[in-house]
Amino acid sequence: MDHFHAVILAGGSGTRLWPLSTPSSPKQFLPLPSGKSMIQETLARVAPLIAPESAWVVTNRALTELVHQHVPSVPVSHILGEPMGRSTSAAIGWAAATIVRQDTQAIMASFHADHAIAHVDALRRALRLAYELARQECLVTLGIKPTTAETGYGYIRFAEKLDEGYGHQAYRAERFVEKPDLATAQIYLADGHYVWNSGMFIWKVETILAELHTHLPELAKKLDVIGAAMGTPQERTTVDELWPTLPAIPIDYGVLEKTKNLVVIPVEIGWSDVGNWEQYGALFTADKLGIRAVGHHQGLGSQNIFVYNTTPRKVYTIGLEDVVVVELDNATVICHRDSVQRVKELAEQEQKKL
């Protein structure tokens, strides 16, 4: 796959996985059951498809050294440190504007560093089809075939089939839809033409830069200036001057909802957006009572719980059900599975105290 580049977006804060995920070590650096961190597994999934010098990471500037520690094979000059978050149009656009200076024929695939994927071979086959479509000037996204009426994800509706290969089919993307309520999500699931928006995109760098100039011209002009400064003595000052002025617009809204050139490949790859403690716990193996435990735990009459204990202390549970217990050196969190999204509120309260 000549001229194929992988861009890993690693700027998230992961507040719903607090207190394990913190601003200085957010969730993309957390360990998975394999022992590798999320960002390490993200790179490992695509490494066989790219040259070693074709990997890139966009992250918070304060995290560039941590990124280098986790993925030392990525050249230091390929770790782009944002002074502040400006969403995915800016992050992906910066990577594209930098890559195109080195390789005008480049095709880039962007991945979020905090996703888990169980079926890596299926992902790689889908990327091969996406690569071929990207060479034809298509903007390609991988859509996750929904397994439940999920209300936490955006959806994409697809229309007629355009191509197939490597065990996958590609369709014209008809429209994006926002996170639905439960009744609407059930309709989408029954329809059979909706997929979850995975946030994985594949396209020529020149194609996405042209789309940015069409739909977000002011952003694109500033990214051109930043791209031209990369690798020069003016790089840092140019980024510091222009970056705070960039609009914070997700690329889904800024470009993909407007373009007529979007193709979606529905996939079944065992995908998980590891966004909270319930989703993180689901990555670990459960016993016959549905108990998942990391570190020491002993229970009596408990079921369907997740215990994450990184301390020498022993955690005991009695008669608990549908509960998450997080025991760290500096904090303990206990919450019902129905309330895992509210962990973010605790994280924000604690951050305000600093």
Cα distance between residue 256 and residue 138, in whole Å: 11
Read off the pLDDT of each residue in 113-135 and give the average, rounded to a whole number.
Answer: 97
- Contact between 38 and 28 under an 8 Å Cβ cutoff? The reply is yes
Superfamily of domain 4-273: Spore Coat Polysaccharide Biosynthesis Protein SpsA; Chain A (3.90.550.10)
Mean pLDDT across the chain, nearest whole number?
Answer: 95
**What tens digit of pLDDT does each residue of 186-215 get?**
999 999 999 999 999 999 999 999 999 999
346 burial (CB, 10 Å; 0-12 / 13-18 / 19+) is middle
pLDDT at 52 over 90: no
C-alpha angle 263-265-271 in degrees, rounded to nearest 5: 135
Encode pLDDT of 53-64 as tens digits: 999 999 999 999
What phi, psi does 151 have (nearest 5°)? -100, -5
Question: Identity (one letter) of the amino acid at 354?
Answer: L
What pairs with residue 266 in β-bridges? 143
pLDDT at 23 over 90: no
Q: What is the pLDDT of residues 290-339, one digit of tens each?
A: 999 999 999 999 999 999 999 999 999 999 999 999 999 999 999 999 99
Separation of alpha carbons 343 and 185, rounded Å: 25
Q: Of 8-17, 322-331, 336-345, which gets the smallest average pLDDT? A: 8-17
At residue 178, the pLDDT reads 84
Burial class (CB in 10 A: 0-12, 13-18, 19+), 39: buried
- Please report, for the chain, the start and end positions of each structural domain, with discontinuous segments joined by +: 4-273, 280-353
pLDDT tens per residue across span 64-80: 999 999 999 999 999 99
Per-residue confidence at 14, pLDDT binned at 50, 70, 90?
Answer: confident
